[in-house]
Amino acid sequence: MKKYIVMAMSVALFGMTSCSEDQLDEVNKNYQYPAANVVPAHLQITDAIMATAFNTTSGDYSFYLSSITEQQVGTGNNQFMKAELRNAGEIAASSTFNNVWNSTYSNLLNIKEMIDKVEKNIASSGGQLDVLGAAQVLKVINFEILTDMHGDIPYSEALQAPDNMQPKSDSQESIYADLVKTIDDAIENLNTATEEEMANFGSEDILFKGNTKKWLALAYAVKARLYIHQTAVNANAAAEALKAADKALELGFAGCYVKEFDGNVAVNPWAAFLDSRGYTAPSKTVVDLMGEKDPRLKHYITETAPDNGFTDVYGYEPGTYGTPGDEDFAKGSWTPNISEYYYMFNEPVQVLSLHELYFIKAEAEARTGKDATKSFKQAVQASITESNSWVDDEETGETYAKSLGSATLEKIFVQKYIAMAIDEHIQTYNDLRRCMAMGENYITLTNPKNNQSGLNRWPYLLPYGQSSLVSNPNLKTVDIYAKQCWLFGGK
């Protein structure tokens, strides 16, 4: 009897091992949906836009960096308490940013497919320069954030699986050079698409509804951001940033905001995060810089408890904010009166805000010897208009902006820090490191945990995602407290 069982098992095993690779390839195919190579490129834009906003611009980078920049204070006696107390086991762990690392590269793969389809005429997408230009803009936004956060990353060989499962890591300097080239290509494509009145997008373009002029304005705004980041390493960067910012505004740039949140099915990521975890609070650093006359203060620290689930779940104490590094406060398990923006489940994600562009312009003017006062006041006023829009406050901010007087680099950076304290922490992190590299100190970070036992515990970089570290020998763990990237003073 045993003889027959063994024979039967042998036959079964032989049958399994004799399956061809082609047959095994069929196992993981999803026959419910069409194959990727038959889907027109323009239909992939919705997911590309939403993933850029929800996963990369917002999400884990923004959540953790809000504590690192001291624009919020980590609480909750959990991950963000550990981040607030600069626990290296939390901030330096490769698992901490693994999800956003993976999701950003996944989104970039989707964007690469869009670009390939237009350039190689796949799925009837050939010649659609409006689709190509928009995809190139999104590619630059996502790769810019990845390299800003992690320094040298897989770039030229990335997104080539299964042909290359272990891509090399490229230098940040070479990546930035190619990102500038790519945004210039996007500008050229979008210029042609605008002149030829191309309209290959429909409602699937949730940003601009296929308006190529608006995509073109965004491309110039992204170019301005790319150049202002390079002021520590490129003597011409400020002048180039100014030219790009002026062109974006000339084209009518009014901000890039993803607004497809209805508070029910789709929820703003910060609101979703705080609805499930009370892990953040307003920061004394921001409150002190604002002062009592700043019209944004009442929106940064809400004065009246809103009528929603937050109050019931977490409690409410008017006027409360946290001091960075305060251990007792960080271990609290309740959320004080956080910004109104975080209570609004349908507020947009700011991918690149109007006030950011005005601040870029103001800084570029100041660095090139021009009077930046007008741009500076426009930036502040745009920020106040933005915060007022959360609760239909009709104050324009013009009076307060005028009260700030003439622009200086210090005023520009202080007001930009305040304006971006809600959900633009990635760019603030870039600004702080850039100023350090240039020997400029406009924002004083006060968290005493930034230095522990004589050791720096303020990260100059964020760790790579764990999935790539364990599978790609070309990526090595770096000391995020010592190594600085090329943009901000490293080699």
* Within-domain flag for 308: yes
The predicted pLDDT at position 337 comes to: 67
- Return phi, psi of residue 352, to 5°: -155, 105
Residue reference for tokens 């991950």: 79
Domain boundary among the residues 326, 343, 360 is at 343
Q: What string of DSSP letters covers 320-361?
A: --B-TT-HHHHT--S--S--HHHH-TTPPEEEE-HHHHHHHH
Question: Can you state the angle between helices 98-119 and 60-68, rounded to 10 degrees?
Answer: 130
Domain boundary among the residues 299, 320, 343 is at 343
Predicted confidence (pLDDT) per residue in 311-341, tens digit: 443 444 555 788 999 998 888 765 556 777 7
Q: Which domain holds residue 339?
A: 271-343
Domain boundary among the residues 404, 419, 444 is at 444
Among the ranges given (133-137, 279-283, 286-290), the one the predictor scored with the smallest mean pLDDT = 279-283
Average pLDDT of the residues in 274-290:
85
Q: Residues 90, 82: contact at Cβ < 8 Å?
A: yes
* Within-domain flag for 54: yes
pLDDT surpassing 50 at residue 3: no
Alpha-carbon Rg for the chain, nearest whole angstrom, is 24
Q: Residues 252, 214: contact at Cβ < 8 Å?
A: yes
Q: Helices (DSSP H) in 409-461: which residue ranges?
A: 409-419, 425-437
**Which pLDDT band, with edges at 50, 70 and 90, does 27 fall under?**
low
Is the same domain home to 338 and 369? no
pLDDT surpassing 50 at residue 6: no
* Within-domain flag for 439: yes
The predicted pLDDT at position 468 comes to: 96
**Which pLDDT band, with edges at 50, 70 and 90, does 65 fall under?**
very high
Give me the number of domains the chain comprises: 2
pLDDT surpassing 70 at residue 93: yes
The predicted pLDDT at position 373 comes to: 98
* Within-domain flag for 435: yes
Is the same domain home to 300 and 398? no
Q: Beta partners for 358? A: none
Is the same domain home to 199 and 326? no
Cα–chain center distance at 389: 22
What 76-79 contacts at long range (C-beta under 8 Å, 24+ apart), as own/partner pairs, is: 76/277, 76/278, 76/279, 76/280, 76/332, 76/333, 76/335, 77/330, 77/331, 77/332, 77/333, 78/277, 78/279, 79/279
* Within-domain flag for 301: yes
**Quick count: other Cβ atoms within 10 Å of Cβ 444?**
9
Average pLDDT of the residues in 284-313:
73
pLDDT surpassing 80 at residue 95: yes
CA–CA separation, 103 vs 101, rounded Å? Answer: 6
Percent of the chain with pLDDT over 90: 70
The predicted pLDDT at position 346 comes to: 76
**Which pLDDT band, with edges at 50, 70 and 90, does 486 fall under?**
very high
Q: What string of DSSP letters covers 449-460?
A: GGEETTEE-S-S
The predicted pLDDT at position 336 comes to: 57
**Which pLDDT band, with edges at 50, 70 and 90, does 202 fall under?**
confident
CA–CA separation, 79 vs 245, rounded Å? Answer: 38
**What single letter denotes the amino acid at residue 317?**
E
Closest CA to 127 of 139, 136, 117: 117
Element (H, E) at 455: strand 455-456
pLDDT surpassing 80 at residue 183: yes
Residue 221: CATH number of its domain: 1.25.40.390
Is the same domain home to 212 and 335? no
Predicted confidence (pLDDT) per residue in 222-261, tens digit: 999 999 999 999 999 999 999 999 999 999 999 999 987 6
Q: Beta partners for 169? A: 154
Closest CA to 136 of 157, 152, 115: 115
Q: Residues 291, 81: contact at Cβ < 8 Å?
A: no
The two structure tokens encoding residue 279:
């892990």
pLDDT surpassing 80 at residue 192: yes
Is the same domain home to 374 and 308? no
Is the same domain home to 294 and 199? no
Q: Residues 371, 242: contact at Cβ < 8 Å?
A: no
**Quick count: other Cβ atoms within 10 Å of Cβ 388?**
19
The predicted pLDDT at position 25 comes to: 53
Average pLDDT of the residues in 6-29:
45
Q: Residues 64, 91: contact at Cβ < 8 Å?
A: yes
Is the same domain home to 350 and 256? yes
pLDDT surpassing 90 at residue 45: yes
pLDDT surpassing 60 at residue 43: yes
pLDDT surpassing 80 at residue 24: no
Closest CA to 356 of 167, 192, 204, 221: 221
CA–CA separation, 486 vs 150, rounded Å? Answer: 11
* Within-domain flag for 13: no
Q: Residues 414, 444: contact at Cβ < 8 Å?
A: no
* Within-domain flag for 34: no
The two structure tokens encoding residue 143:
């790769």
* Within-domain flag for 86: yes
Is the same domain home to 260 and 242? yes
Is the same domain home to 318 and 352? no
Predicted confidence (pLDDT) per residue in 429-457, tens digit: 999 999 999 999 999 999 999 999 999 99
**Quick count: other Cβ atoms within 10 Å of Cβ 64?**
24
Write down the mean pLDDT value for the chain: 88
Is the same domain home to 99 and 75? yes
pLDDT surpassing 60 at residue 2: no
The predicted pLDDT at position 303 comes to: 59
pLDDT surpassing 70 at residue 134: yes
pTM as predicted? 0.90
**Which pLDDT band, with edges at 50, 70 and 90, does 4 fall under?**
very low
Is the same domain home to 216 and 242? yes
CA–CA separation, 104 vs 112, rounded Å? Answer: 12
pLDDT surpassing 80 at residue 35: no
Residue reference for tokens 């504590």: 67
Which residues lie closer than 8 Å to 3 by C-beta, 6 or more apart?
none
Is the same domain home to 318 and 356? no
Predicted confidence (pLDDT) per residue in 339-397, tens digit: 777 777 778 889 999 999 999 999 999 999 999 999 999 999 999 998 877 666 666 78
**Which pLDDT band, with edges at 50, 70 and 90, does 272 fall under?**
confident
CA-to-CA separations, 328 to 84, 263, 333, 375, 453, in angstroms, rounded: 11, 33, 10, 41, 20
pLDDT surpassing 60 at residue 17: no
**Which pLDDT band, with edges at 50, 70 and 90, does 52 fall under?**
very high
Question: Can you state the angle between helices 269-276 and 60-68, rounded to 10 degrees?
Answer: 80
**What single letter denotes the amino acid at residue 402?**
K
pLDDT surpassing 50 at residue 480: yes
